[in-house]
Structure 1
Amino acid sequence: MLDLSVIILTYNEEIHIRRCLENIKDIAKDIYIIDSFSTDRTLEIAKEYGAHILQNKWENQQAKQFNWGLEHAPIRTKWILRLDADEYLLPELICELEQKMPALPENVSGVVFKRRHYFLNKWMKRGIYPVRLLRLFRYGKAICESRLMDEHIQLQEGESVDFEYDFVDHNLNNLSWFCHKHVDYAVRDAAELLNMELNLWGNDLDDKKLGKQATHKRKIKSRYSRLPLFWRSFFYFVYRYFLKGGFLDGKEGFLWHFLQGWWFKALADAKVFEIKQICGTDKLKIKKYLSDVYGLGS
């Protein structure tokens, strides 16, 4: 067993939580469930695995909930792993953790993994894979950056290293759930795009404390935010589906890149267009609108 605690945010995750806990139970000393008052069997299942359960009201931001967990969980290990309930580690990554973690030098505070997405039960090998994310870090050396979308673990000190093997994002919900989730994400993405364009809330992020790919992705999105509305979502789909080979992943690949790479991005642009119709480019009006209508703010 590793000197490791795992933090998992949950709300009605009975469809995923057993798979996630079964995956990590033999490597983690402690598992902390930070729950937003689930009404299904999530907590019942978590108790079967001896997980520590803390409950906190959801305030419309993953980063805030995760950082609350970091502050309130009675953590007693050197390392912390952030996982979502619909994620799990591949056996190769578990072996890599067992072999490499105990020997990491003190100046290494974070570890970057590759994430692979499964969509309709198929691995989306092309288009955006591999996504590299810093998910493992020394306790007290990192927090989750405060963003509405695409929040990353941000090191406060030390360096990060890359591991070779993957963890998996494999959501088991149906397409209706997927589309509803991305309607909500589109509003958040629109707010982030407006922030990049108009500096609604500012950005005190030190990108040097993120992983290399996360920093690169942030710069790409900044350039994306300056491209013409709607054309940019089309270009993004063409890049993923044709230039990066997404079309090679069959019907599932088409649906993945169309829905997540074009429809979702076009919907975010539509929200930007709508908000500007209502508020113009007045920053105070936009911030008030996002807060009053969608409960978003920073």
Structure 2
Amino acid sequence: MLDLSVIILTYNEELHIRRCLENVCPIAKDVFVIDCFSTDRTQEICTEFKNVRVVEHAWPGNQAAQFNWALDNVEISTEWILRLDADEYLLPELVEELKKEIPTLPQEVTGIELKRRHIFMDKWVKHGIYPVVMMRMFRNGEGRYDNRLMDEHISLQSGHSITLKNDFCDHSLISISDYCRKHINYAQREACEVLTETYQLREVPVQATHLGKQATAKHQTKSGYNKLPLFLRSFAYFLYRYIIRGGFLDGKEGFLFAFIQGWWYRTLVDANILACKKACGNDKERIKEYIKKEWGIKVN
């Protein structure tokens, strides 16, 4: 067993939570499920595992804030912390790599970046965006999420990170209809982030010392992407993922994954931005009010 605590944020995750807990409980000393008052069997399933503790906390508006609340309010005694979603799990090869590497890491290594493998409609989508490298593990006291509504990343307070060779999986079991409905909500949050950056609707906090190589590059790329013309950029992004990065090699599932995430979702983001601009022009206060009224998001 590793000197490791796992934090999982949940709301009505009975479809996924057992698989996730069966995956991490054998290797972690403690597992903290931060639950937003689920009405299904999520909490009941958690009680079947001895090293799982359920902590209820009202949803603060985004995952970054919920995770940071857990860091500040849950008693974590282990050296390392891992963040997972309920629909994610570690591959056996990654588990073995963690067992080998964790005990031997020097103190200056304070974060671990992991490669995320997307399983879409039960198929590994090998092209388009794979691998997505994310900071998901860090030494206790060294990591926090940056202040974003979408595309949030863990940043380190000191030290540096390493990247492991093996993958963890993002493997949602929800229907394609529910998958699309989730992205409608994501599109509003992403549109809010773009408008916030464009009009400087809130003060941007000073970044911590280390955000991860791919995360840093991604933020820089998105800043350039957001300067491109609405709608044209979403089509270009789809072509990049599907043609240039080889998404077409993954068959029908690869097309749907690239279309939903790379074109349809990004087009929804632009549609929300256009609607806001048509209603508010460039008036910052009106934009903030629109975001709060129409999307239920308060810009701090």
TM over 0.5: yes
Q: Could you list the runs of 5+ residues in structure 2 that have no partner in the other structure?
A: none
1:97 aligns with 2:109: no
Matches within 5 A, 1:111-260: 111-206=112-207, 208-260=209-261
What residue number does 2:45 align with? Answer: 45
- CA–CA distance in 1 between the matches of 2:162 and 2:232? 36
Structure 1 residue 250: Cα displacement: 0.3
- CA–CA distance in 2 between the matches of 1:64 and 1:245? 35
Find the residue that maps to 2:69 and give its secondary structure: helix
CA contact (8 A) 1:196 1:225 kept: no
Matches within 5 A, 1:36-75: 36-50=36-50, 51-75=52-76
RMSD of aligned alpha carbons: 1.0
Find the residue that maps to 1:125 and give its secondary structure: coil
**Match of 1:183, as an amino acid?**
I
- CA–CA distance in 2 between the matches of 1:128 and 1:79? 28
Find the residue that maps to 2:47 and give its secondary structure: helix
- CA–CA distance in 1 between the matches of 2:219 and 2:149? 13
1:87 aligns with 2:104: no
**Match of 1:33, as an amino acid?**
V
What TM-score do the two structures reach when normalised by structure 2?
A: 0.97
Structure 1 residue 268: Cα displacement: 0.4
- CA–CA distance in 2 between the matches of 1:208 and 1:263? 35
Q: Could you list the runs of 5+ residues in structure 1 that have no partner in the other structure?
A: none
**Match of 2:141, as an amino acid?**
G
CA contact (8 A) 1:118 1:170 kept: yes
- Greater shift, 179-188 or 190-199, is seen at 190-199
What per-residue deviation string (whole Å, max 9, x for no partner) do you get for residues 239-284 of structure 1? 0000000000000011110111100000100000000000111111
**Match of 1:222, as an amino acid?**
S
1:13 aligns with 2:8: no
What per-residue deviation string (whole Å, max 9, x for no partner) do you get for residues 203-239 of structure 1? 2242752000000000000000000000000000000
1:217 to 1:207, Cα distance in 2 relative to 1, 3 A: farther
How many residue pairs were aligned? 298
What TM-score do the two structures reach when normalised by structure 1?
A: 0.98
- CA–CA distance in 1 between the matches of 2:97 and 2:24? 14
- Greater shift, 207-216 or 121-130, is seen at 207-216
